[in-house]
Amino acid sequence: MLAITKSQNNRLYTDDALIHSLHCTIRIFAKTLNNSISDFDIYSSEWSILKIVKEHEAISQSEIAAFLDIEPAAISKTLSRLEKKGIIYRQRLNNNKEKNIFLTEQAKTQYDQLAAVVEKHRNAALQSLSIEERTTLHNLIKKIYADIEKNNA
């Protein structure tokens, strides 16, 4: 059995607590965002895609997946759900193998209202952090992400 010193044990506990805090923060953020946008019949995962499609009209499923750093198959159900809700539509352009994704007129008219609710939620979540603290936190999270990517390549 490995002998763990008190300082190592404290570091391990702190590291576990840090990862647990990151996980819980993301979960509560998504849960409370889902509550905030429920009147729009949309979930936070759908909002992420909707925002990307708004910013990059005629984007493909694989491009969305690359932007979100997930497998294309992982967003297939979400896109189908958004299509059934009348929020997006898919259309092939220029004999492309893959269909491109567009916002419907309904989605375009509701987008600004939805974006305002999302922004209000985000501002409430970050209200106690200064701009400098937000920048520092963002940089630290990017470092963690890069380490995870590097170690799992």
**Residue-by-residue pLDDT tens, the chain, 153 positions:** 444 455 556 666 688 889 999 999 999 999 999 999 999 999 999 999 999 999 998 999 999 999 999 998 889 999 999 999 999 999 998 877 889 999 999 999 999 999 999 999 999 999 999 999 999 999 999 999 999 999 986
Write down the pLDDT at residue 40. 96
Pairing of strands 59-60, 88-92: unpaired
Write down the pLDDT at residue 153. 66
Cβ contact 62:73 at 8 Å: no
CA triple 78-21-5, angle to 5 deg: 135
Write down the pLDDT at residue 4. 46
d(CA 77, CA 92): 19
pTM: 0.84
DSSP-based three-state secondary structure for 90: strand
Domain extents in the chain: 6-151
For the domain 6-151, what is the CATH code?
Answer: 1.10.10.10
